[in-house]
């Protein structure tokens, strides 16, 4: 019932045993009589004893905490990724501590070091932080680290990632197969390698079809707001697209809002395809055609790799790559035939 920190010493005094005995009982390690066991447990309970994680960690004991660094919490994609990792971690008896990226790369490096220096047993890094030099120092540290959706500088660290290229190809081909010829594209954030992959697929597909038109590409940033703006830009063109592929679902919803605000119907007047398959995609009207990553499986893979690395298994150069999948819903349909009665 005391205040301030309750240590093993307090429990030991109350139970009338030595510190180490208390430790043994609470960790269920070593031998002790049933009587002491009962007395220690009773004392610990009465005082509300909780082990000091810092001291344990210093002694080499794992914290059962996995750290995860993501660019932002409010993006549904990253939130889902974090949820998947948290679920997988929880199943393995770990807690997941989620951090968002700071703007300052130096601070970033410090934080990563701090996490690995006693706070977390492993680290899931969803953004390629900083330089190749930083990755190299992480490699050398032998700390359990896994990179997620890393497409950048080569590294020996284990990587879990999901395809964006093939899925985007499938999306554009889907629109082509429906009969669309003018297909707009709204990119993702400039620094994102996933965004680069999606643009690359769109570009390759449109070039191959002889339909490439630079004016149909608008810069985006994965947000809904930018989707509204870019949607209006594309629909204001002299020859507006009959379909728009957006690099994220949020952006796609922005496009749909822009179209509807102009009195257009989706998919009758405009087909829209997104990317991510956020929960909302299935429960909106029209429901959204989109490309999905197998997020649950990715979360599982991240945690598995960390745990393997902790156990000393060789994870150097391991690359776990997941496919993406086109999910056709209501927001894509054949273009209205020109002159067709509305």
Binding residues for DNA, per CB under 7 A?
5, 7-9, 17-21, 23-24, 26-27, 29-33, 35-36, 49, 51-52, 55-56, 58-61, 117
Task: Output 61 or 191, the one with its CB closest to DNA.
Answer: 61
26 binding partner (options DNA, a copy of itself, none; Cβ < 5 to 8 Å by kind): DNA
C-alpha distance across the termini of the chain, in Å: 76
Measured in whole angstroms, the distance separating CA 73 from the mean position of its chain's CA atoms is 9
Applying the rule CB under 8 A, the residues between 104 and 163 that interact with a copy of itself are: 110-111, 113-119, 137, 140-142
CB of 45 to a copy of itself, least distance (A): 11
CA distance 312 to 142: 10
Q: According to the 3-state scheme, what is the secondary structure of 16-61?
A: CCCHHHHHHHHHCCCCCCHHHHHHHHHHHHHHCCCCCHHHHHHCCC
Rounded Cα gap, residues 201 and 172, in angstroms = 8
How much of the chain is in helix, strand and coil states, percent to nearest 5? 45, 15, 40
Per rule CB under 8 A, is residue 3 in the interface with a copy of itself? yes
If one counts every other C-beta atom within 10 angstroms of the C-beta of residue 3, the result is 6
What is the Cα Rg of the chain in Å? 26
Q: Which of 11, 88, 98, 145 binds a copy of itself (CB under 8 A)?
A: 98
* Contact between 224 and a copy of itself per CB under 8 A: yes
| Chain residues in the site for a copy of itself (CB under 8 A) | 1-5, 48, 50-55, 57-58, 63, 65, 67, 72-74, 76, 79-80, 82-83, 86, 90, 95-100, 102, 110-111, 113-119, 137, 140-142, 223-225, 227-228, 250, 253-254, 256-258, 260-261, 279-280, 282-285
């Amino acid at each position: 019932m005391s205040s301030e920190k309750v240590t093993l010493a307090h429990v030991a005094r109350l139970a009338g045993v030595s510190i180490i005995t208390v430790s043994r009982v609470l960790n269920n390690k070593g031998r002790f009589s049933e009587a002491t066991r009962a007395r220690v447990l009773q004392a610990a309970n009465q005082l509300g004893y909780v082990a000091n994680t810092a001291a344990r960690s210093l002694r080499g004991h794992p914290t059962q905490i996995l750290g995860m660094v993501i660019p932002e919490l409010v993006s549904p994609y990253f939130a889902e990724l974090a949820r998947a990792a948290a679920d997988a971690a929880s199943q393995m008896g770990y807690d997941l501590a989620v951090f968002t990226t700071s703007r300052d790369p130096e601070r970033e490096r410090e934080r990563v070091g701090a996490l690995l220096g006693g706070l977390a047993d492993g680290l899931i890094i969803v953004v390629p932080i900083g330089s190749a030099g930083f990755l190299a120092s992480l490699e050398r540290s032998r700390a359990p680290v896994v990179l997620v959706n890393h497409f950048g500088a080569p590294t020996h660290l284990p990587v879990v990632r999901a395809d964006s290229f093939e899925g985007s190809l499938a999306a554009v081909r889907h629109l082509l197969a429906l009969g669309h010829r003018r297909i707009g594209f709204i990119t993702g954030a400039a620094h994102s390698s996933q965004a680069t992959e999606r643009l690359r697929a769109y570009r390759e597909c449109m070039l191959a079809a002889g339909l490439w038109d630079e004016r149909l590409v608008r810069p985006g940033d994965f947000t809904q707001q930018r989707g509204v703006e870019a949607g209006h830009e594309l629909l204001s063109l002299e020859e507006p697209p009959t379909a728009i592929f957006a690099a994220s679902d949020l952006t796609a919803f922005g496009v749909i809002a822009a179209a509807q605000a102009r009195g257009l119907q989706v998919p009758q007047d405009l087909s829209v395809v997104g990317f991510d398959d956020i929960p909302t995609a299935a429960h909106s009207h029209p429901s959204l055609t989109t490309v999905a990553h197998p997020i649950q499986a990715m979360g599982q893979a991240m945690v598995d790799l960390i745990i393997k690395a902790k156990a000393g298994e060789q994870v150097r150069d391991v690359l776990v790559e997941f496919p993406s999948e086109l999910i056709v819903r209501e927001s894509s349909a054949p273009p209205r035939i020109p002159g067709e009665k509305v």
